[in-house]
Amino acid sequence: MNLLILGRGKTGSLVAEVARERHHHIQIAGAKENADCAALTPENLRTIDAVIDFTTPHAVLANIEACVQAGKDMVVGTTGWHNEIPRIRALVEQHRTGFVFAANFSIGVNLFFDIARTAAAALRHDYTGQIFERHHIHKKDAPSGTAIAIQQVIREANSVGADAFVRPVERSETSGAAKDLEITSFREGEVVGLHEIVLESAAGRIYLCHDAKSRRGFAEGAVRAAEWLVGKKGFFDFKDIWREL
């Protein structure tokens, strides 16, 4: 494939390495080359099959808008924009492009989401829970997109209708909605990404942890998502498609 990688940072440069190893042709644009989306004109994108974005929460939305409006498929790893998902989904559907995003492109973390979904049942049996995340001091957003995704997976697992035997989870007194697990963020040294779920009752404690050892898993997941996207149209969350890779 002809891939354009946005971001020459810690993850973008690894994505380029993995893409080369998988025999793709790549171009890379960092902040300088892509100021005001200069690398994303229809002319520059003409020969590109898909664009992979690992930039910053500040830059990503303009990049997405430029690529989708030019009709290009995209894989977006950058976090910190997911409150805009409904608007971006509509844009992708309007322009009939292919789009995969992820809070986390590692296979291990996506399996961890499934484990969290199962563990969420504890909250219907007198357990309370918390989420902890640790990342390097350079990370720009907090809480991490992965921690928010874990929180969402647990919320959805416990929402009415998710289980025929649902018992009321902890309910907020005012809204009656299930309360989300609290997320606590730590920024320390060069930690790649550590996520913990702790579920606790008077009877016992469940402790679940995913500790990323390197960024390579993110890069491999993103490149494989771009390969998977060939010939597909629509807006996809990696956590729903990773088993198809």
Which of the ranges 30-38, 155-163, 197-205, 225-233 carries the binding residues for ligand NAP, by CB under 6 A?
30-38
Helix (H, G, I), strand (E, B) or coil at 180: coil
Regarding 54 and contact with ligand NAP (CB under 6 A), the answer is yes
Distance CA 184, CA 179 (A): 15
206 and 199 in contact (C-beta within 8 Å)?
A: yes
- Among 70, 72, 105, 116, which residue interacts with ligand NAP (rule: CB under 6 A)? 105
Regarding 149 and contact with ligand NAP (CB under 6 A), the answer is no
- Which of 135, 195, 210, 239 is labelled catalytic? 135
Helix 216-229 vs helix 10-21: crossing angle, to nearest 10? 60
Regarding 185 and contact with ligand NAP (CB under 6 A), the answer is no
Regarding 74 and contact with ligand NAP (CB under 6 A), the answer is no
Site for ligand NAP in 198-217 (CB under 6 A): 215
- CA angle 73–146–60, rounded 5-degree value: 40
Whether residue 139 lies in the annotated active site: yes
Catalog residues that contact ligand NAP under the rule CB under 6 A: 6-12, 29-32, 34, 54-57, 59, 77-80, 102-105, 215, 218
Supply the residues annotated as catalytic.
Answer: 135, 139
